[in-house]
Amino acid sequence: MEYLAAQFLAHQKLQEIAEMNNWEDFHQVIIFLIGHITLTGQASFETLKYIFQLAEKAVVRDGSYDFWWKFLVEAKKQKKVGEIIARKHLPRDIWHLYEVKMIVPGLELLISTPAKIETLKIEVDSRVDPYGIENLWEVMKELRHKLRGRYGKENPILTELHFWHHNEYKCERPSDELLLTLHPWGHLTNLTGSLGEQEEGKEILNYCFKLKTLRVRLCSLEAVICLSVSLEKIYKSIRNLRVTLDFSSEVNAHDLPSLTTNGNLEVTIPGISDKDKEWVVAVVRNVGCQRGNKRGQGCRHLVLDKSELTCNAVKYLIHKLTRVVTEKLSVETNCNITVEDEESVAALENRTHISVNWI
């Protein structure tokens, strides 16, 4: 019905149609209308003006990337249409693509219009694996070729990537391949996701000198080593480093390298129990660079979620990690913690200066 309605309207006087109100529920009709106008060869400057007026009456907001991408496709990606969309209907400077339906259309518009932006923020919530978003992987692979001459090492787009699914769940396919697509057009400034094992000398973050916030899940010793190598080069720019170490206590804690930071290191270790407490101490000491004669900034915040820790194990950790954990210990446990237990732990806080938070 919407298609047929648009076909009918295409043969009417567009000036009169553009004077009509109440177009809010007819976005798809407008998209089909530009398609019919284009197919019949009527897409002159004058007719385009009236169709864009319809879009304004339909309250198509600036930044409706999915609408404008469909509009441009129906217009056969005409250069003049892309120029109008970029100039009048897309945000200037900063693009935030935070809904699944807008991510790929937003990237397609970046490719197909002369839009000039400074910052690109892509955010995928924890319910969705970004590799499962239709065409996202394919479009991101094309960006280095499609943006050549517009964005590069000399004039990059400052890019934030937030892949919450990769950060909150253990995934077979980490964020690595998506990160690689940023070269050379995008300079990574903030990352939420996961990192895997890369070939020595080709660590993904080696040259991310503008990186400020890094929140990643690491599922192997090799992944921690790769991150450590990169941090030796880029740590000065990083303000906050949050790592989730999602591997079992079978990994030798003394093989773990230090994670060089400016003092804002947060470590999360999920799924541990009392038998792992000595291992946890060794892990935090090593990644916080508190071993031998080599001392680092330590770990500002240690998070032990989804654990089976008793109160006695928590008190053991507080004692052993004094001056290693510098601010806070957060514990989520399925063991019964009584009021007396909480009071006994609270008594240690003043002596150790570690604030304990029961999640």
Tokens read off for 112:
């197909």
Q: Is the pLDDT of residue 277 over 80?
A: yes
The Cα 285–Cα 137 span in angstroms is 38
The Cα 301–Cα 268 span in angstroms is 8
Question: Domain-by-domain residue ranges, the chain?
Answer: 1-90, 92-211, 248-359
Strands 265-268 and 355-358: unpaired
The DSSP-derived string for 47-93 is: HHHHHHHHHHHTT--TT-HHHHHHHHHHTTT-HHHHHHHHHHTS-SE
- Mean residue pLDDT of the chain comes to 91
| Alpha carbon separation from 14 to 22, 50, 57, 61, 194 (Å, rounded) | 16, 6, 14, 22, 52
Q: Which residue has the tokens 């996701």?
A: 193
pLDDT of residue 51: 86
pLDDT in tens, 176-229: 999 999 999 999 999 999 999 987 778 899 889 999 999 999 999 999 999 999
The Cα 310–Cα 342 span in angstroms is 11
pLDDT of residue 116: 93
Backbone angles phi, psi at 224, to 5 degrees: -65, -40
> Using 50, 70 and 90 to split pLDDT, how confident is the model at 293?
very low
| Alpha carbon separation from 9 to 6, 32, 33, 52, 83 (Å, rounded) | 5, 10, 7, 15, 25
pLDDT in tens, 33-80: 899 888 888 777 778 888 888 888 887 776 799 999 999 999 999 999
Could you tell me what percent of the chain has a pLDDT over 90?
73
pLDDT in tens, 317-330: 999 999 899 999 99
Mean pLDDT of 296-303: 87
Q: Is the pLDDT of residue 102 over 80?
A: yes
pLDDT of residue 292: 43
Q: Is the pLDDT of residue 290 over 80?
A: no
pLDDT of residue 43: 72
What predicted TM-score, i.e. pTM, was given to this entire model? Answer: 0.91
Q: Is the pLDDT of residue 83 over 60?
A: yes
**Residue ranges of E strands in 213-296:** 213-218, 240-245, 265-268, 290-291, 294-295
